[in-house]
Chain A
Amino acid sequence: MKNFFKALILSIFFISFQYNTNAAEKVEYLKTDWSFKGLFGKFDRGALQRGYQVYTEVCSSCHSMKYLSYRNLAEKGGPEFTEAQAKAIAASFEVKDGPNADGDMFTRPGKLSDKFIMPYENVQAAQAANGGAYPPDMSVLVKARGGGVDYIYSLLQGYEDPPVGVTLDDGVYYNKYMYGNKIKMANQLSDGLVEYNDGTSATVEQMSKDVTTFLMWAAEPHLESRHRMGFKAIVYLIILTVLVYFSMKRIWSRIETKI
């Protein structure tokens, strides 16, 4: 029994050790309190709605989110706009559809079932418009970067003047959290850039936090139900384990041996 615990602890230690080695080269990221971390972590609805606003007004001019649909905005565990609001949001975008009966493509207002519209027709168009750099799709961006939300949150606030001796090419910017410190995206956020409906003051820090929360939800839309189910599953397993443990003790007490 004791050995078993030792093994469990050892293996967990080993795995986390492995994980740390993968992330050994990262710099110290800015920290903030994320509402979605922890056993009962949930998204902050307000932050998600504000984050969506930042995405639409700022990020979406270059970054696509091809795996999201407008209906997701009204789904449980997300920003939870009302269905009417989500419909209005969808309708505010022009979506290319077709071909119609005449064989022509046409545009129409968006519907809930439409995917988020793409800022560029294709990768080449995106690169041509951004000095050769492709603005990555942001649907799973948080999961596709080593530092996750902390990295994105820090990066948005990490723009600085380059240190003496570092020369930057045209269209390249200095960011202290970027791998290699050189980034092709210019600093996008400045205080008061967007006007939040709920009266929250739109500081760079606030906007970074909101949009990062939004990106976390976009990458893990079922995070809330995962946490809820996980808690139930683990409590259930623990109770069952205790019951089975006592059954085992009872059964093994029939013979003269220790277990």
Chain B
Amino acid sequence: MSDHEYTPKSKVGKWFNDRLPLLTLANHLTEYPTPKNLNYWWTFGGILTFCLITQIVTGLVLAMHYIAHADMAFDSVEHIMRDVNYGWLIRYIHANGASMFFLAVYIHIFRSLFYGSYKAPREIIWIIGIIIYLLMMAAAFMGYVLPWGQMSFWGATVITNLFSAIPLIGEGIVTWLWGGYSVDNPTLTRFFTLHYLIPFLILGLVVLHIWALHVPGNNNPVGIDIKKPSKDTVPFHPYIVIKDGFALLMFMIVFAFFVFYTPNILGHADNYIEANPLVTPAHIVPEWYLLPFYAILRSVPDKLLGVVAMLSAILILAALPWLDTSKIRSAVFRPLYRQFYWILVADVLILGYVGAMPAEGLYLLIARIATAYYFLHFLVILPVLGFKEKTLPIPLSITEPILGGSPNLAAAKKKES
């Protein structure tokens, strides 16, 4: 981006641009050379930006009507649902938007895993992404507490209690987090404050994420370095803009279906019961997008080790660029990794499933095996695979396999479509 030469045509434009090069930035974003073989899995970056903006805008409106007080929060949400003009629409978009956000981020992350987008020189993009993901989980968790329903209250109690696993100072930390001796009004007000703050931190990190992306440029399904600009690239506008737009519209249709026809299907019925510290729900379950980590937490019999395992499961992703020792990025050319990739996908889905089930009997056993496999994948399989795997020959450019009729043609084409 720093080597970008651009001179605005108009005199005023030139005057302005010499003082603040916004027009250079705009020109960079329009011209940004993008690999032309990007498939639809690459559209989720744009979709995620849309999700973030949607959450911020709807969240702002909700914050105008919401009352962060233990005695009034539940009532104020019902006030939004009933008496605020289109309040029901705003709230249902916001509540389902969180789920859509996570759906998109999981696809985005697993796309990176498949095509090796985290590998050099894109480690910083990846690590910023992991931080964004962590902040998203924090924001989602605190947002779920705000309606002050039963699941809000007890979810907050369970999660904040995890900190009590820290030796010696654990109990003190929990009291400090709560602002008292149980989850109560001080907890709610600070969660509201942080829930309001975090999206803007995410927004800032998204800017860094995209900035870091624009230094090496996009990875692509073939996973090779390409010359930019060249026959292998297209300008971001209009080619990628229209394609991202199309994918976003498809995503919005699914989104709209949830908002208008099954707005409560992803939430828990208990959250329509006002928080009651004296009544514990039969099963305390987090939102669906946190279930795999919840399963990992519960699969370890020791509380402290369970918390450590859960945090490691997320933080291990940050070390991924160094755990994966293979020089080849795309799984298209890694026949063994491709199979382990799909096993990992299945493993995470299984963890999600058992996370929703009571932690006993067969479910607990499955959770333990799946947890062990999760760590095995990252700590043993990936490092070893880099040395042992016999990879397929990679093409020299994106256009080459198509024009040159290389043996990888079929594989490369299949993944592109």
Contacts and interface: CB of A to CB of B under 8 A. Distances in A.
B260 A259 contact: no
Contacts of A179: 282
Contact of B356 (A11, A18, A230): A18
B87 to A, nearest CB: 9
Nearest to A19: B265
B270 interface: yes
A158 interface: no
Interface residues of B, number: 53
Interface stretch (A160-168, A204-212, A231-239): A231-239
A30 interface: no
A244 B246 contact: yes
Instruction: Name the prevailing secondary structure of the A interface residues.
Output: helix
Given A3-B41, A144-B272, A145-B269, A233 B78 contact: no
A15 B107 CA distance: 14
Contacts of B288: 15, 18
A45 interface: no
A140 B349 contact: no
Interface in B24-58: 36-37, 39-41
Contact of A237 (B75, B247, B256, B417): B256
Interface stretch (A97-105, A186-194, A246-254): A246-254
Interface in B359-417: 416-417
Interface in A102-156: 136, 139-140, 143-146, 148
A22 B288 CA distance: 10
A12 interface: yes
A15 B352 CA distance: 10
Given A3-B40, A251-B239, A252-B239, A241 B246 contact: yes
Contacts of B263: 226
A12 B269 contact: no
Interface in B216-270: 234, 238-239, 242-243, 245-247, 249-250, 252-254, 256-257, 259-261, 263-266, 268-270
Contacts of B266: 15, 19
A72 B82 CA distance: 10
Contacts, number: 124
A8 interface: yes
B356 A22 contact: yes
A144 B270 contact: yes
A241 B249 contact: yes
Contacts of B256: 230, 233-234, 237
Contacts of B264: 143
Nearest to B106: A11
Nearest to A20: B356
B260 A227 contact: yes
Given A14-B349, A144-B272, A255-B234, A39 B242 contact: no
Nearest to A250: B242
A2 B417 contact: yes
Contacts of B246: 241, 244-245, 248
A248 B243 contact: yes
B133 interface: no
A244 B209 CA distance: 28
Nearest to A247: B242
A241 B256 CA distance: 13
Interface string A12-47: 101111110110100000000000000100000000
Contacts of A8: 250, 254
B260 A229 contact: yes
B252 A21 contact: no
Nearest to B259: A230
Nearest to A22: B356
Contacts of B243: 248, 252, 259
A197 interface: no
B40 A237 contact: no
Contact of B257 (A18, A136, A234, A240): A234
A123 B272 CA distance: 18
B78 A139 contact: yes
Contacts of B81: 222
Nearest to B358: A25
Nearest to B291: A18
Given A2-B417, A3-B41, A139-B78, A22 B36 contact: no
B273 interface: yes
A140 B79 CA distance: 12
A226 B256 CA distance: 11
A-B interface, 9 closest residue pairs, ranked by CB to CB distance from nearest: A230-B260, A144-B272, A4-B40, A241-B249, A143-B272, A21-B356, A248-B242, A18-B288, A140-B272
Interface of A: 1-4, 7-8, 11-12, 14-19, 21-22, 24, 39, 67, 72, 136, 139-140, 143-146, 148, 179, 219-222, 226-227, 229-231, 233-234, 237-238, 240-241, 244-245, 247-248, 251-252, 255, 257-259
Given A67-B82, A231-B260, A258-B417, 10 more contacts: A3-B41, A8-B250, A14-B349, A19-B266, A39-B261, A136-B273, A222-B82, A227-B260, A230-B260, A255-B239
19 contacts: A1-B417, A12-B254, A15-B288, A18-B356, A22-B268, A24-B357, A136-B273, A146-B269, A222-B88, A226-B88, A226-B92, A237-B249, A240-B249, A244-B245, A247-B242, A252-B239, A255-B234, A255-B239, A257-B234
